[in-house]
Chains A and B, each alone.
Chain A
Amino acid sequence: MPTFVYMSHCDGCGHCVDVCPSDIMHIDTTYRRAFNIEPNMCWECYSCVKACPQNAIDVRGYADFAPLGHSVRVRREEEKGTVSWKIKFRNGEEKNFVSPIRTTKWGSIKSPAEYDRPEASRFRSQELAHEPDLLNIDGGLPVLDPKRLKPGAV
């Protein structure tokens, strides 16, 4: 299902252009609206569909193997913290699914710079940021006895 854009919905805002991982959503210079310039490099990841404020982007299954008459629509709502899907089969059957997308507020992650500076002695240890605490185990970071590494087939 490479993506396509409905002429009557798109207002040319460019959110899809900004987010597309494959760089295939571009603005048509005549119509000032977005379109998929390279459908055969589309992964059907729906990043542009989810990002479109006008719900102007949809997908039509790849012509190689997908018969017409289906649709898989999505609405991603950051404030509600959900993503909702509606699947419509070629034969008209429908299925709906809703999943959570995040449990915390958007923007709430702390920069690592907001934590206390690591002590000088920790730089040469094998521990990474927030370790060993964040491992939730007793005894600290696991260590391998170097003598147990032996060359050859087993």
Chain B
Amino acid sequence: MGLFKRRKTIQVACDILVVGGGMAGCGAVYEARYWGRDLKVVCVEKANIERSGAVAQGLYAINCYMGMQWGENQPEDFVRYASNDLMGLVREDLAYDIGRHVDSTVHMFEDWGLPMMRDPKTGRYQREGKWQIMIHGESYKPIVAEAARKAATEVYNRIMVTHLLVDKRDRNRAAGAVGFNVRTGDFYVFRARAVIVAAGGASHIFKPRSVGEGMGRTWYAPWSSASAYGLPIQIGTKMTQMENRIVLTRFKDGYGPVGAYFLHLKTYTQNAYGEEYESRWYEDTKKLVGDYVDRHPVPTCLRNHALLKELAHGGGPIRMVTTEAFQDPHKETVGWENFLGMTIGQAVVWASQNIDPKHTNPELTTSEPYVMGSHATCSGAWASGPEDYAPGEYRWGYNRMTTTSGLFGAGDASGGTPHKFSSGSFTEGRIAAKAAVNYINDAGEEPLVDETEIGRLKAEIFEPLENYAIGRNEIVAGTVSPSYILPLHALQRLEKLMDEYCGGITVNYMTNEPLLNRGLELMEMLKDDARHIGAEDLHQLQRTWEFRHRLLASESVMQHTLFRKETRWPGYYYRGDHMTLDDDNWHCFTLSRYDAETDTWSMEKAPVYHIVD
């Protein structure tokens, strides 16, 4: 669409608006329809729900399944596992809630047609590990999307949601969202009585290891653009554990998963000289975290820490010993299909470099950091707990309602609940949607949207197109302008800044207070420049708004990292000025609230409740 052509405004009024049609969003849509038979349930997605979100490419395992029907695990076991893996800081009330519901989700997937592998001896789902079951999940997302399409009143694909709307009379109440169609350029206004944010976590906020053509081969999807955080932060919703970024040990360059290799194929790691190295760093790790190193299984961050120490000691490359397991043709097939099912890029890397794991032990590496709430870390919105047992400090409204009334979170958007993965995220969407139906049934007046605000947002959303159209005339050709920067320029400045000042790969995940303060100074200038991004077309406009969400999420990560004066998760990041774990002062959640009016952050601590026998 040309700059001066008339831009249409499309108005959509609904009861429940689900932002993001990935696993959590599809779960929310399904459950919203089950309980809200007469409600208008709308799902809005920036891509196409057929293949959107982190599961777009498929999965070879469901990583969160209790197996209560066979007495394999109980929700409490899951809580202990998740809490242990995150060095004690998990919202155990929320995690228990995932654990008690997730099996019904997985059984539903099987009924829908997801091919589950079964143990030929027991007839049960084939276990990959204690919590994981193996699937043929190439069509996992299309199957789940089919259910969501049947359940939704309407699905809007290719709409990039840029902002949430709040009630004119109560600015702490959600009223809908706005965005634009990335194909037509039309402006969309969604008015809703309840909003569920089920958008994606944050890839590409830290500089990736590959910065050329391969920058898209990040571990988490490049389209996970931090909207899970950028949207709620803008309206002052409280966030938690945003410092709790994750670093993944994965196969080199393709970031192919290691779960099935460790757990099912029983492959193991060694250093360049064929030595086991983790035990060598036991005492070193114990000095940092004390008895946490003795917990079982060893927390993931601490295993990363041992690997990083070994690399710094000169023991690299670290390799996965596959040559033994891959002599078994069944295991070889599992090893390859594991990649083809969820990280095809790793198969391409191995094919291109002639790495056949039957004959060569492939290299491992640690990734750049990511911020997310569904995998093995728990960044996200501070959410109200289950009504039947959550302690008072965790319960102010409906289950999974954030600190903004009528705004719910699920998947990457909901904080404090790690290890949900695909099935748990879908489950959390279900939990949030049932609560949202109850919220709507209880709420009186519908929220009222400020029309002036909508006009202001519309101008702001499309401004990058104007920046480009005007500034472009100043220069002959090319990408260098004195008036604007391109979305990719902005993204790469953010990635470099986060990398160097907030503990990325080039500084071996190290930061401290002076670095963070300097990083925040530079970020202020980037925030100014963010208003001078030039977007050549609608695709670049989408990239601009993805960047804006990433920027806000990154600032939150900086503030949280600055606030927590300890190193809770060595192997994920280090506070050089506070190198040890400090349970006396920091066995707590960190909470932040951003005030857009004053452009300031306020930080506080919240207690951790544990399930005690």
Contacts and interface: CB of A to CB of B under 8 A. Distances in A.
Given A46-B344, A101-B139, A109-B150, A129 B31 contact: yes
Interface string A105-139: 11111111101011000011010111110111100
B598 interface: no
Contacts of B48: 18-21
B356 A72 contact: no
B389 A83 contact: no
B35 A118 contact: yes
B356 A109 contact: no
B274 interface: no
Given A21-B221, A63-B212, A150-B612, A103 B356 contact: no
B146 interface: yes
B310 interface: no
Given A148-B613, A152-B587, A23 B47 contact: yes
Contacts of B431: 128
Given A18-B48, A43-B216, A64 B150 contact: no
Given A106-B146, A112-B31, A152-B608, A131 B348 contact: no
B609 interface: yes
Interface residues of A, number: 89
A128 B104 contact: yes
A104 B337 CA distance: 21
A59 to B, nearest CB: 7
Nearest to A154: B610
A26 B540 CA distance: 13
Interface in B355-386: 356, 386
What is the predominant secondary structure among interface residues of chain B facing chain A?
Answer: helix
A64 B253 CA distance: 9
A69 B352 contact: yes
A40 B215 contact: yes
Contact of B51 (A21, A88, A113, A144): A21
Contacts of B441: 123
Nearest to B22: A21
Contacts of A144: 75-76, 93, 96, 388-389, 611
Contact of A146 (B108, B337, B391, B607): B391
A102 B353 contact: no
A22 B223 contact: yes
A13 to B, nearest CB: 15
Contact of B347 (A20, A72, A135): A72
A117 B223 CA distance: 37
A117 B37 contact: yes
B66 to A, nearest CB: 9
A145 interface: yes
A146 B389 CA distance: 5
Given A103-B113, A104-B113, A70 B351 contact: yes
A31 interface: no
B471 interface: no
B216 A39 contact: yes
Contacts of A109: 112-113, 143, 146-147, 150
Contacts of A22: 47, 216, 221-223
Interface string B12-50: 000000000000000000110111010000000011101
A149 B389 contact: yes
Contacts of B259: none
A95 to B, nearest CB: 6
B81 to A, nearest CB: 14
Given A38-B539, A44-B345, A63-B213, 17 more contacts: A23-B46, A66-B253, A66-B352, A68-B352, A72-B348, A87-B351, A97-B336, A108-B113, A112-B30, A115-B34, A123-B437, A128-B427, A129-B430, A146-B388, A149-B611, A152-B610, A153-B583
Interface of A: 1-2, 18-24, 26, 37-47, 59, 61-72, 74, 76, 83, 85, 87-91, 93, 95, 97, 99-113, 115, 117-118, 123-124, 126, 128-132, 134-137, 141-146, 148-154
Interface of B: 30-31, 33-35, 37, 46-48, 50-53, 56-57, 68-69, 74-76, 88, 92-93, 96, 99-101, 103-104, 107-108, 112-115, 136, 138-139, 143, 146-147, 150-151, 158, 182, 210-218, 221-223, 253, 333, 336-337, 340-341, 344-345, 347-354, 356, 386-391, 427, 430-431, 434, 437-438, 441, 539, 542, 583, 587, 607-613
5 contacts: A112-B34, A113-B34, A123-B437, A128-B34, A144-B75
8 closest residue pairs by CB, A with B: A104-B113, A62-B214, A45-B57, A64-B214, A44-B345, A112-B34, A136-B69, A66-B352
